[in-house]
């Protein structure tokens, strides 16, 4: 695979991932607000369910394009490193697969959150109607209103439980995916250092190599201390994506500009 295709895939894939990740409802506010709280996330995803699904499909596309670039990096830059490259490619494939699972669960959560909000709103309206019926004193109307209220409340509880289950599963898988992502990021840096400065200058080889290694290890430690489903944990995760994106841009620009084939 040519370095132009490899670099272009890494560049375009990372741009798509970072762009649509921060377009997801609430994500741009993660630096100033706690967007991981269940009620806030339910409102963000439930109120924008269609947009969430579109953005997540775009992120899937970006991840696959990025992985294609990683395969090119595996074939090109790692030609001089045969002992480590299999670990490198396995870790990157693993983190992409895990994030694909996260996205599928997130898409399911957005649908469940939307149903939860609709069921809750309907339950509130039926409760108000039941209160009005009680004031009328008509037994038949009161009985019918009470039945509707009971059914609506039951549906609201079921929808809420489904949404809560998807919420818990989402953060559980994202936590694991994040750890693998950080290890894969560090492995990318190690591969760059071990494979020599064939495509990159010695300076850029050290900057990108040590940059990926340092950021991967640092953010792994930070997200172990502050879990990703907490306010500061998700803030750290968001910052890590920006750092990963910047390092990927530096790597790909220098890879494309390289005079080596």
What tens digit of pLDDT does each residue of 223-252 get? 999 999 999 999 999 999 999 999 999 988
Q: Calculate the average pLDDT of the chain.
A: 82
Query: For residue range 207-226, what is the model confidence (pLDDT) as tens digits?
Result: 888 999 999 999 999 999 99
Is residue 138 in some structural domain? no
Phi then psi dihedrals of residue 55, to 5 deg: -65, -40
Which has more pLDDT, 20 or 204? 20
pLDDT reported for residue 88:
82
Q: Which residue has the higher pLDDT, 154 or 111?
A: 111
Report yes or no on 130 lying in a domain.
no
How much is the average pLDDT of 69-77?
76
pLDDT digits (tens, 9 = 90+) for 2-15: 778 888 899 999 99
239, 30 contact by CB (below 8 A): no
Q: Which of 23-27, 197-201, 256-260 reaches the highest mean pLDDT?
A: 23-27
Structure confidence at residue 14 (pLDDT): 94
**Counting every residue, how long is the chain?**
261
**According to the model, what pLDDT value does residue 248 have?**
93
Residue 128, domain member (yes or no): no
Say if 148 falls within a structural domain: no
**Residues 20 and 58 sit within 8 Å (Cβ to Cβ):** yes
For residue 142, the model assigns a pLDDT of: 53
pLDDT digits (tens, 9 = 90+) for 162-207: 778 888 999 999 999 999 999 999 998 888 887 766 667 788 888 8
- Six-digit token pair at 65? 């394009």
149 falls within a domain: no
Residue 261: pLDDT above 70? no
Give the count of domains, the chain. Answer: 1
pLDDT in tens, 86-141: 788 889 999 999 999 999 999 988 888 777 666 555 455 665 555 555 565 555 55
Residue 231 lies inside a defined structural domain of this protein: yes
pLDDT in the model for residue 57: 94
Tell me how far CA of residue 82 lies from CA of 13, 88, 224, in angstroms: 26, 11, 31
Contact 247, 210 (CB under 8 A): no
> Is pLDDT larger for residue 26 or for residue 164?
26
Domain-embedded: residue 147: no
201 belongs to a structural domain: yes
Domain membership of residue 34 as a residue range: 3-116+171-257
User: What is the reported pLDDT for 193?
Assistant: 82
Which of the residue ranges 20-24, 50-54, 108-112, 144-148 would you say has the lowest mean pLDDT? 144-148
């Amino acid at each position: 695979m040519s370095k132009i295709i490899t670099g272009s895939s890494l560049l375009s894939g990372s741009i798509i991932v970072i762009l649509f990740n921060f377009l997801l409802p609430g994500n741009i506010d993660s630096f100033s607000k706690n967007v991981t709280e269940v009620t806030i996330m339910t409102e963000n995803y439930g109120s924008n369910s269609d947009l969430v699904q579109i953005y997540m499909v775009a992120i899937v596309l970006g991840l696959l394009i990025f992985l294609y670039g990683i395969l090119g990096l595996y074939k090109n830059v790692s030609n001089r490193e045969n002992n480590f490259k299999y670990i490198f490619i396995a870790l990157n494939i693993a983190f992409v697969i895990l994030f694909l699972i996260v996205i599928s669960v997130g898409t399911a959560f957005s649908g469940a959150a939307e149903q939860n909000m609709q069921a809750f709103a309907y339950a509130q309206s039926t409760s108000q109607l039941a209160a009005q019926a009680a004031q009328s004193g008509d037994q038949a109307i009161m009985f019918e209103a009470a039945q509707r209220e009971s059914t609506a409340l039951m549906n609201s509880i079921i929808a809420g439980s489904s949404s809560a289950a998807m919420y818990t599963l989402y953060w559980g898988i994202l936590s694991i995916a994040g750890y693998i992502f950080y290890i894969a990021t560090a492995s990318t840096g190690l591969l760059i250092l071990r494979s020599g400065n064939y495509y990159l200058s010695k300076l850029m080889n050290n900057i990108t190599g040590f940059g990926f290694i340092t950021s991967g290890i640092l953010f792994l430690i930070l997200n172990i201390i502050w879990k990703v489903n907490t306010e500061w944990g998700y803030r750290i995760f968001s910052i890590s994506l920006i750092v990963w994106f910047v390092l990927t841009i530096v790597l790909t620009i220098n890879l494309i500009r390289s005079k080596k084939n």
